[in-house]
Amino acid sequence: MTPVEIRSQLTGLPGIDPAWSRTVTAVDADGIDRTWHILDTHAPSGSDKETKPTRGTLLCVHGNPTWSYLWRHILAAPAPGWRVIAVDQLGMGFSENPRGSMAQPRTLAQRIKDLAGLTQALNLTGRVVAAGHDWGGMVATGWALEHRELLAGLVLANTTVHHDFDAGLPTALKFSLTPRTLKAATVDTPAFVRGTTAVSSPRPSRDVQNAYALPYRTRTDRSFVGQFVADIPTTSGHPTRATMRHLADGLSAMGSETAPVPVLLLRGPKDPVFSEAHLRDLQARLPHADVHRYEGASHLVLEDAPRTTEDIARWIETRIDQHGASINSDPATHDGRPPQAPFAVGTPAQPWSGLTDLAHRDPEALCVAEVATGRRITFGQIDTDIEHVALGLRDAGLRPGDRVALLVEPGIDLTVAAYAAWRAGGVIVVADAGLGLSGMGRALRGAGVHHVIAMSKAMPALPALRVPGTRFLVGDLPRLARKVLGVRASFDDLRARGRALAAGGHALPDSRKPEDDAAVLFTSGATGPSKGVVYTLDQIRAQVGGFGHIYRLTPGDRLVAAFAPFALYGPALGVAGVVPDMKVTAPATLTAAALADAVTAARGTTVFASPAALRNVLATAEQLQPSQRRALAGVKIVMSAGAPVPLTLLRRLSDTVFPHAEMHTPYGMTECLPVSDITLDELEQVYAPERMQDGVCVGHAIESVQIMVAPLPAVPDGPDGDLTAEAGVVGEICVRAPHMKDRYDQLWGVDDASKNPRGWHRTGDVGHLDRDGRLWVEGRRVHVIHTAEGPLTPVGLEQRVESLDGVANAAVVGVGPRGLQQLVVVLTPDERGLAHAAGGVLADQALHTAVRAAADRPVAAVLVRDSMPVDIRHQSKIDRTALACWAEDVLAGNGGRR
């Protein structure tokens, strides 16, 4: 096919510019001149024979059965100054067919040599980033290892260099490699070609699916599709198996270099061919690699996740163009971070020394109490238990840096499991049960856990969750169940082994470093997909110490924690933790009586509970017995966080439940907690009518924390302003602290965007600072309403609407195109407001008029619901995105239930 004919074929394909198309003659692996088709952003045109100068070249190699079309998005939006060349491998796309047959297919080694011949003909010079997908990843890797003098970086997407063939092939390939079906599926019919886009998630449009299949319309066109599959080395003597070993060894050597070449690994987790094991193998060989997992994406990750284009471009700018960026340590998490806080607990090598110190000083002091079971354990007992379990874990194969998933409810067992994993050198992985089974499975698989510590009722769920790793059981199961579920050992087994090792003089090595990973904590998913947040040992020390510092927690205090992470913090501070009788995944199940019983059980001095939990405590306070009221009256400090806490709720709690407690509402997020803090007394001062401002006041930054805002742009897609602490400026809240996250786990693009500027964390919240330096939160950035007059934050309007008689809760959302959105108020009525909402989802005229007056700006509609959609973890954060979709449906006449 001539270049003109090829361009004619490309004309009209979605997302492609025919001007990128060109052909190049190059010598193939057999020494024969072959004609390649490539897409080239710097293709010579007209009389031009030379390409324009560039900062570097991104060389893109597709797999089977795709072609250069796969890379069209990065061709359209490359890193500034970079040339992009996407090749059609020989026999694929619109390139010439070389030698080969199904019996003697073109091998991986030949394809690597083919590509080397092409780049020689192209006379590539300067910096080259090689990129490959699927089998093209192996071809790109082979080229990269042989062209180190040119190689500036490597991007690999859903690929591998090693497969455990003894474990068999992926199900999707077993069918295609069966002798009876190989040729039928790959050559005689378009089944394999069409199946590749059919497994995409989300599935591409019909036009895009047809574009992928365009070069493969006939059996002749598909001959090398079959050869690619036939080259999979299913037998030990297959020549491509030796080539894969060479590539694997080469990457391992690259990864062990002092200054390794930057690498970016991209993954679509729903891939039916390239599994998590393939990604883990690449990570083991390239421990310095940046990784981004695109949840929901499948095999064609570059198609399924359009943001891969932005991430690749930004990665090239960050890792290749900005020479100061370190590969082994991100400057945003080290050089740009404030020095360690003076209140950090423990020591760099032993963050848990608060526990061990008290165990030696006062071994009989209470450490953890469980109200529901009546179990109690002292600091001396738990310190010994932790040591024995940690020794047992090390003996059972836990190695420093191994990730350990904890599927254990808050209490004694969770405390032992977490601290034992830490002492043994592990990294704890905590995914909230509120994510649901599918969400938890997705999180734990993505985290790449090596071991799972699970209670007996959670262990049977692991096969369905498809979570890898060695199984350790907390509790008891029948012997047959343990065998079927693959339980390696129970905690009793580990304790027994640990006791024996300790008696024999074995001790745990003290080799932890401050920068070692300590925990991966998953966000609630209330404001987007749940993300793993990685903390180092030093950051955990600062976070735990921060809570102890601002709430004056010292040994002898007793913390009643209705939220799992806080139940773990107490022992590191030398503070006893008390777990109330409640359903962990449903904060609103905490009753006043249950809280009082928890306080009574250990003479609790401090309480932490979410707003949803405290609402139910207030609602059930009338059921308290006199003795329970006396117990709650002894509480010194009450903390509530996770969502805005209404002033009226705090005041009523103070008046009726905690008469002598100092009421606090700390502000923060999984990525940095705490950020700021404010008391009820201060709230009542700032919420005085003459001082009211839009938003929820969350107080001053705590010691060692800096807060600034990035001003919102006037138009939706405009750039943010420079960070400022000027009073009254509304923008995205940015924080800087020693206890800020190290990084998002395997979400390089999201993590990089959150560290802008370097050394800061963009919280995703919007708000402003007042003249006294207090922070006011006005909502989430994703919930900002983009009107024709500019951006509008929701919380201030919601507060004014909620002040109306008859309104229990309100949420303000935008409907319509960004930049022209209209305001819609969604509310839930209280008993007094039910009469105004009896007619369905539309508020009656009186309520509508009152809402418009309170908002003091145009309101397109006022809608009524029986309840608001909220997050699972705290049951407090309103899902405004879901409300906006519901409102649009209602206003479009598609109905909508209250």
What is the residue type of 755?
K
* CA distance linking residue 109 with residue 112, whole number of Å: 5
Spatial separation of the C-alpha atoms in residues 308 and 158, rounded to whole Å? 12
Return the closest-CA partner of residue 555 out of 690, 751, 359: 359
- Other beta carbons within 10 Å of 28: 22
Residue scoring higher pLDDT (799 or 7): 7
Give a three-class secondary structure readout of 475-503.
Answer: CCCCHHHHHHCCEEEEHHHHHHHHHHHHH
Ramachandran area for residue 411 (φ above 0: left; ψ -120 to 50: alpha; else beta): left
Provide the 10 A C-beta neighbour count for residue 4.
10
- The position carrying tokens 């000083």 is 361
Q: Residues 315-335: what's their mean pLDDT?
A: 63
**Per this entry, what is the length of the chain?**
898
Tokens representing residue 205 in the block: 């449009």
Q: How far apart are CA 739 and CA 114, in angstroms?
A: 51
Give the residue from 581, 583, 557 showing the smallest Cα distance to 570: 557
Across 124-128, 274-278, 435-439, 463-467, least confident range: 435-439
Cα dist. 137→26, 59, 480, 569, 802 in Å?
21, 11, 43, 44, 56
DSSP structural state of residue 321 = I
Q: Hey, which residues does 466 pair with through a beta bridge?
A: none
Q: Which pLDDT value is given to residue 332?
A: 38
> Which of 40-44, 192-196, 251-255, 625-629 bottoms out in mean pLDDT, i.e. has the lowest?
40-44
Q: How far apart are CA 764 and CA 749, in angstroms?
A: 15
Q: Kindly report which listed range (150-164, 660-674, 841-855) carries the lowest average pLDDT score.
A: 841-855
CATH of domain 3-321: 3.40.50.1820
* Residues ≥6 apart with Cβ < 8 Å to 331: 324, 325, 758, 759
Tokens of 162: 């090693």
Q: Which residue, 553, 545, 799, 568, is CA-closest to 662?
A: 553
Cα(106)–Cα(109) distance, integer angstroms: 8
Q: pLDDT, tens digit, for every residue of 751-782?
A: 999 998 999 999 999 999 999 999 999 999 99
| Bigger pLDDT: 567 vs 37 | 37
Kindly state the tokens that stand for 123. Answer: 């006379």
pLDDT bracket for residue 525 (50, 70, 90): confident
Q: Which helix (H) or strand (E) holds 689?
A: none
Cβ atoms of residues 871 and 609 within 8 Å: no
How far, in Å, CA of 539 to CA of 561, rounded? 21
H helices of 156-304, in order, are 171-177, 179-183, 191-198, 206-213, 223-230, 239-255, 276-285, 301-304
**Backbone φ, ψ for residue 520 (5° rounding):** -120, 110
Chain center to CA of 493: 34
Listed range (5-14, 246-255, 447-456, 644-653) with the worst mean pLDDT: 644-653
The predicted structure's pLDDT at residue 895: 64
**How are beta strands 290-293 and 807-815 bridged, if at all?**
unpaired
**Per residue in 576-590, is it b (16+ CB within 10 Å) or e — as a string?**
bbbbbbbebbebbbb
Strands 470-474 and 517-522: unpaired
Decide if 318 contacts 264 (C-beta within 8 A): no
Q: Evaluate if residue 298 carries a pLDDT over 80.
A: yes
CATH of domain 674-783: 2.30.38.10
665, 645 contact by CB (below 8 A): yes
From residue 742, give the alpha-carbon distance in Å to each of 100, 612, 760: 50, 30, 11
Asked if CATH classification 3.40.50.300 holds for the domain at 786-891, the reply, yes or no, is no
> What would you measure as the largest C-alpha separation in the chain, in angstroms?
95
CA dist 789 and 304 (Å) reads 35
Whether the full predicted model's pTM is greater than 0.85, yes or no, is: yes
Q: What angle, 0 to 180 degrees and rounded to 10, lies between the N-to-C axes of helices 239-255 and 108-122?
A: 60
Report the alpha-carbon distance of residue 344 to residue 502 in Å, rounded.
30
pLDDT band at 898; cut points 50, 70, 90? low
Nearest-angstrom CA–CA distance, 405 and 603: 32
Encode pLDDT of 615-654 as tens digits: 999 999 999 999 999 999 999 999 998 777 888 899 999 9
The answer, yes or no, to whether residue 326 has pLDDT greater than 50, is no
Average pLDDT, the chain: 92
Looking at residue 51, what is its pLDDT?
58
DSSP string over 583-646:
-TT-GGG--HHHHHHHHHHHT--EEE--HHHHHHHHHTGGG--HHHHHHHHT--EEE--SS---
Where residue 871 falls among pLDDT bands split at 50, 70, 90? low
> Which residues, 6 or more positions from 815, have their beta carbon under 8 angstroms from its beta carbon?
821, 822, 824, 860, 884, 887, 888, 891
Work out the average pLDDT over 85-103: 95
Q: What is the CA radius of gyration of the chain?
A: 30
pLDDT at 333 over 50: no
Q: What is the pLDDT of residues 237-246, one digit of tens each?
A: 999 999 999 9
Q: What is the pLDDT of residues 190-202, one digit of tens each?
A: 999 999 999 999 9
How much is the pLDDT for 833?
Answer: 58
Average pLDDT over residues 879-897: 84
User: Based on the number of CB atoms within 10 Å of its own CB, is 686 exposed (0-12), middle (13-18) or buried (19 or more)?
Assistant: middle
Lowest-confidence region among 330-339, 361-370, 555-564, 820-829? 330-339
Beta strands in 374-516 (DSSP E): 376-378, 403-407, 427-430, 451-455, 470-474, 487-490
- Looking at residue 447, its pLDDT comes to 96
Question: What contacts 696, CB < 8 A, 6 or more positions away?
Answer: 644, 776, 777, 778, 795, 799
Q: Establish whether domains 3-321 and 353-579 are of one fold.
A: yes
Report angle CA 386, 390, 392 to the nearest 5 degrees: 120
pLDDT at residue 836 greater than cutoff 60: no
- Bridge-based pairing of strands 706-711 and 151-157 is unpaired
Nearest Cα residue to 595 out of 625, 560, 636: 560
At residue 285's C-alpha, the angle toward residues 284 and 291, to 5°, is 65
Examine the pLDDT at 331 and tell me if it is beyond 50.
no
- Whether domain 353-579 has CATH 3.20.20.140: no
Cβ atoms 315, 321 nearer than 8 A: no
At CA 103, angle to CA 97 and CA 106, rounded to 5?
A: 40
Q: What is the DSSP letter of 816?
A: S
Pick the closest to residue 449 from 457, 461, 440, 458 (CA basis): 440
Cβ-proximal residues to 448 (8 Å cutoff; 6+ apart), any chain: 276, 279, 280, 283, 403, 468, 746
What phi and psi, each to the nearest 5 degrees, are found at residue 710?
Answer: -100, 105
- 91 touches 65 (CB < 8 A): no
Q: Domain-by-domain residue ranges, the chain?
A: 3-321, 353-579, 674-783, 786-891
Closest CA to 231 of 244, 222, 218: 244
Angle between helices 276-285 and 239-255 (to 10 degrees): 50
SS3 672: strand
To 5 degrees, how large is the angle CA 645–CA 646–CA 648?
A: 140
Alpha carbons 261 and 328: distance in angstroms, whole number: 11
Contacts of 547 (CB under 8 A, 6+ apart): 553, 566, 569, 573, 666, 674
707-735 pLDDT, tens digit per residue, is 999 999 999 989 999 999 999 999 999 99
